[in-house]
Amino acid sequence: MNQPQATVDCLPTPQARDWRTPTELTILGAIWGASFMLMRIAAPEFGAVPLVEMRLAAGAMILLPFLWADRALFPARRWPILALIGAINSALPFALFAWAARVAPAGIGAICNAMVVLFTAVIAALFFGEKIGSRRAAALLVGFLGVAILASSKIEGAAVGPAVAAGTLAAVLYGIGANLVRKYLTGTPPAAVAAATLGSAALLTLPGALATWPESVPSMKAWGAAAMLGVVCTGLAFVMFYNLIKRIGASRAVMVTYLVPLFGVFWAWSLLGEPVTASMAAAGALIIGAVALSQRN
């Protein structure tokens, strides 16, 4: 959907832009950080796959108007790649993070999620011919050190290695998906692409969700968390993110990556009472630092 051009009178002043961008980035970071807490609440009662199905379906419905407006850009021949990207970039990583939320604190998944930027660069270098550069290579090593510290830690006496492995694999899949979008869908309206890929992923996930649907009725707290995860953290957050990209560009909008783990850990600590350990703090600092280093010009 083409954005109407603003007149000069409607353009925000520099002062307005100064506060608007950091405010929106902070809100988006808080929303996406909350998604890990919400998965921690809902996944034990729903199970990973049913929760992912509800998240995908709700997100797709929120974004459906964007897809409808640009439906002429989505002929039948384009849908196989959309379905593949939906599986790699949504269904599988959502399921991995939801599974991790069943067995480990919410902050673990949030910290692993910060690796997406680094893995996107690695996949681009390995399979799409882009140069990774010495700075990004160093950042990747620092990030992996953070993952290693996180994976070897124990929180409240329980090992979190399997959850870290799941979160790291999810970040790898996000990196693959981002490169597939760049290769095959450049120039296509991103909100419409998100609606198409989320909807395709929801259809692919549906059989598994029906087969594993919980026998006992989940609590209202779990239903509320699932609804917020789909409507707010997926559908509305995607709309906000794509509007940010249109206004400030992708390279600046991706700065939200720094905020997601901070908010993820904060929400889990403040609302769920989950601990923040020294190993989590050290791993988070290394991973966020690595992402910041990889993004320097």
Query: What's the whole-number average pLDDT of the chain?
Result: 87
For the chain, how many residues are written? 297
CB of 248 closer than 8 Å to CB of 22 = no
Would you state the pLDDT for residue 156?
61
DSSP 140-165: HHHHHHHHHHHHT-EETTEE-HHHHH
Q: Give the tokens for residue 240.
A: 């906000």
More confident residue, 267 or 138: 267
* Residues 95-109: tens digit of each pLDDT: 999 999 998 889 999
Would you state the pLDDT for residue 18?
63
Tell me: pLDDT of 2 over 70: no
Tell me: pLDDT of 137 over 50: yes
HSE (side-chain half, CA atoms, 13 Å) at 84? 13
Lowest mean pLDDT among 129-143, 160-174, 202-216, 260-274: 129-143
Sequence-distant (6+) residues with CB within 8 A of 40 are: 101, 105, 106, 268, 272, 274
Decide if 14 is inside a domain. Answer: no
Structural domain count of the chain: 1
Name the band, by pLDDT with cuts 50, 70 and 90, for residue 276.
Answer: confident
Would you state the pLDDT for residue 264?
93
Decide if 85 is inside a domain. Answer: yes
Would you state the pLDDT for residue 15?
46
Instruction: Tell me, rounded to whole angstroms, the distance of Cα 249 from its chain centroid.
Output: 18
> CA-based Rg of the chain, rounded to a whole angstrom?
19
Q: Which domain holds residue 59?
A: 36-294
Tell me: pLDDT of 115 over 50: yes
Instruction: Tell me, rounded to whole angstroms, the distance of Cα 292 from its chain centroid.
Output: 17
Name the band, by pLDDT with cuts 50, 70 and 90, for residue 226.
Answer: very high
Decide if 12 is inside a domain. Answer: no
Lowest mean pLDDT among 50-54, 62-66, 150-154, 280-284: 150-154
Tell me: pLDDT of 11 over 50: no
Q: Phi, psi at residue 159, to the nearest 5°?
A: -75, 140
Name the band, by pLDDT with cuts 50, 70 and 90, for residue 219.
Answer: very high
More confident residue, 267 or 277: 267
Decide if 161 is inside a domain. Answer: yes
Would you state the pLDDT for residue 126?
85
Decide if 2 is inside a domain. Answer: no
d(CA 59, CA 64): 9
Residue 277 is classified by DSSP as -
More confident residue, 118 or 296: 118
* Residues 158-201: tens digit of each pLDDT: 678 899 999 999 999 999 998 998 889 888 898 899 999 999 99
Decide if 7 is inside a domain. Answer: no
Question: Mean pLDDT, to the nearest integer, of 203-229?
Answer: 96
Decide if 23 is inside a domain. Answer: no
Would you state the pLDDT for residue 57?
97
End-to-end CA distance of the chain: 31
pTM (2 decimals)? 0.86
Give the range with max mean pLDDT: 10-14, 47-51, 145-149, 272-276.
47-51
Would you state the pLDDT for residue 5?
37
Alpha helices in the chain (DSSP H): 14-46, 48-69, 79-86, 92-103, 106-113, 116-127, 133-151, 161-184, 190-211, 220-230, 237-248, 250-253, 256-272, 278-294
Would you state the pLDDT for residue 251?
67
Decide if 187 is inside a domain. Answer: yes
Sequence-distant (6+) residues with CB within 8 A of 52 are: 91, 94, 95, 98, 205, 209
d(CA 258, CA 255): 6
d(CA 15, CA 30): 23
